[in-house]
Amino acid sequence: MQDIGKNIVGVVLQCNNFEVIDLGVMVPAERILEAAKREKAQIIGLSGLITPSLDEMVHVASEMQRLDFDLPLLIGGATTSPAHTAVKIEPNYEGPVIYVKDASRSVGVAQALVQESTRGALVEKVREENARRRELHASKKRLAPQVPFARAQASRLAVEWQGYTPPRPGFTGTRLIDDVSLADLVDYIDWMPFFNAWEFHGKYPDILTDKVVGEEASKLKHDADAMLEQVIREGWLAPSAVVGFFPANSIEHDDIRVYADPARKQELIRLHHLRQQRGKQDGQPQLCLADYIAPADSGIEDYIGGFVVSAGHGIDQHVARFEAGHDDYSSIMLKALADRFAEAFAEYLHERVRKDLWGYAKDEQLNNAELIREAYTGIRPAPGYPACPDHTEKALLWQLLDAEKATGVSLTESFAMLPTASVSGFYFSHPDAKYFSVGKIARDQVESYAARKGMTIEDAARWLAPNLGYTPGAPRAADAA
């Protein structure tokens, strides 16, 4: 999805007389630092949208240290936090490293940093706060409460498979979805994330009548509706999607074998999943997505689905036109609407899967509010999200669906999707399936996961960094410290 927050920060700063050089998304460290030197920048800002961005921020900080920079480094974005900034980024750079929660706070921070009279006090305050966060981080038991991986596997969800017949999809293999227009998706839009992107917080539509922000929120919605109508009328965005269903069974507890044929004789691909290792009351399961697919040794023929949708094709020419005219407001508005269309497309397609393409909930009757609350049977977890936190599984999904050829959506080296107004994930149909967070995992599971994926332990740890309940490279005795 678009990193709308970064764009808004730039606009807010520009409105307060700052010159902003926006280099775009997924820019390598050397280009950022070259531009900073060339433009004689006073501040460098980084925004992280997906998990791999966290490691890249650490790398940028390390490069700034190596190249003797002393500029303030501002950190923000959906995946970042004050703790990550203090624990992972600041130790790599002697210059000021400051976490900025949202655009509304960026102006005050930037103004304080460029003025000699206020810079010192702000930097000292931030250093003290970061040091305090590192102390808190070091003092807590990072693994507690957790259980060994073998015990977690033994505590998997006890699904009653005998007597259950998994629903058979209407077809197996892949199918392009090319009969959907933008107008079909409007009723599926969840508007609250749109307002969150503009840093309005609350509930929609209540936010439109809020005593404090209601007037501004209503004006924003009016502008959004006007552009939305034009986008639909003039066909600015072209939706594209592919969906697929495949015979599948879980194996070795935590992986899913996807078969190449209905006879289930040949493995097409193997998906890999992670299991919770948190402390729970006796009898409560340690969940893994593989639990929702019938085990191979059960003799039950189960299935799994996958999808990729996009509403980003065609956006670049319009964004370029707005930016050429210095109309940042319209550029950000269009990106935010494209994101909403992509999420609406994912919601629309999931409903169509449940009621028709897979057809396991043919009589479902839910309104948009109920869809937003996920009051339906089955789930569509996405790689990179809490139940399936490893972004590298997207490569397998793309292979399974031949997604780039089918939709034009490609993956970057960090497994971000291009166009960014795109959504992908898997379909699970079991009535017990629910969303959950894997949370912190221990070294024993990382070693198992790396072996199952054919990765080095170091690479697996790098991709799973936000979920690690231990410090890579530290002695095993330190795992519970």
Both tokens of 471, joined, read 């410090």
- Selected residue with higher pLDDT from 398 and 110: 398
User: Which DSSP letter does residue 14 get?
Assistant: H
Q: Would you state the pLDDT for residue 196? A: 83
Domains in the chain with CATH codes: 4-139 (3.40.50.280), 147-481 (3.10.196.10)
The lowest-confidence range among 93-107, 272-286, 416-430, 447-461 is 93-107
The lowest-confidence range among 43-52, 152-161, 462-471 is 43-52
In the predicted model, what is the mean pLDDT of the chain?
90
Half-sphere exposure of 472 (CA within 13 A, CB side): 16
Contacts for 398-401 with beta carbons within 8 Å, 24 or more apart? 398/308, 399/269, 400/244, 400/246, 400/258, 400/268, 400/269, 400/306, 401/174, 401/242, 401/243, 401/244, 401/306, 401/307, 401/308
Q: Would you state the pLDDT for residue 451? A: 96
DSSP secondary structure of 387-433? TB--TTHHHHHHHHHTHHHHH--EE-TT--EESSSEEEEEEB--TT-
pLDDT band with cut points at 50, 70 and 90 for residue 204: very high
End-to-end CA distance of the chain: 37
- The answer to whether residues 88 and 58 touch, using CB atoms and an 8 Å cutoff, is yes
Beta bridge partners of 97: 73
- State yes or no: pLDDT of 11 exceeds 70: no
Q: For 260-319, write each residue's pLDDT tens digit.
A: 999 999 999 999 999 999 888 888 999 999 999 999 999 999 999 999 999 999 999 999
- Alpha-carbon distance 17 to 35, whole Å? 20
Q: Tell me the H-state helices in 353-392.
A: 368-372
Nearest one of 361, 342, 366 to 190, comparing CA atoms: 342
- The answer to whether residues 27 and 360 touch, using CB atoms and an 8 Å cutoff, is no
Half-sphere exposure of 345 (CA within 13 A, CB side): 31
pLDDT band with cut points at 50, 70 and 90 for residue 396: very high
- State yes or no: pLDDT of 460 exceeds 80: yes
pLDDT band with cut points at 50, 70 and 90 for residue 200: confident
The lowest-confidence range among 20-29, 46-55, 66-75, 210-219 is 46-55
- State yes or no: pLDDT of 423 exceeds 80: yes
Quick one: average pLDDT of 449-461? 96
Both tokens of 7, joined, read 């764009």
- The answer to whether residues 436 and 277 touch, using CB atoms and an 8 Å cutoff, is no
- State yes or no: pLDDT of 86 exceeds 80: yes
- State yes or no: pLDDT of 436 exceeds 70: yes
**Residue whose entry in the numeric block shows the structure tokens 């080296």:** 413
Full strand arrangement of the beta sheet holding 97-99? 44-47, 73-76, 97-99
- Selected residue with higher pLDDT from 481 and 43: 43
Q: In 162-301, where do the E strands start and end?
A: 173-176, 238-251, 255-259, 267-272
Q: Give whole-number Cα distances, 45 to 41, 94, 211, 346, 421, in Å.
A: 10, 16, 33, 32, 23
Q: CA 88, 93, 96 angle in degrees (round to 5)?
A: 100
Q: Give whole-number Cα distances, 62 to 66, 76, 93, 95, in Å.
A: 6, 17, 6, 11
Q: Are strands 44-47 and 73-76 parallel, antiparallel or unpaired?
A: parallel
Beta bridge partners of 272: 255
For the chain, percent of residues with pLDDT exceeding 90:
65
The pair phi, psi for residue 98, each rounded to 5°, is -130, 125
Q: Would you state the pLDDT for residue 140? A: 59
- Helix 29-38 and helix 52-66, axial crossing angle in degrees, nearest 10: 50
Both tokens of 278, joined, read 């948190």
The lowest-confidence range among 19-28, 35-44, 346-355, 380-389 is 19-28
For the chain, percent of residues with pLDDT exceeding 70:
93
- State yes or no: pLDDT of 480 exceeds 70: no
Q: Would you state the pLDDT for residue 330? A: 93
pLDDT band with cut points at 50, 70 and 90 for residue 50: low
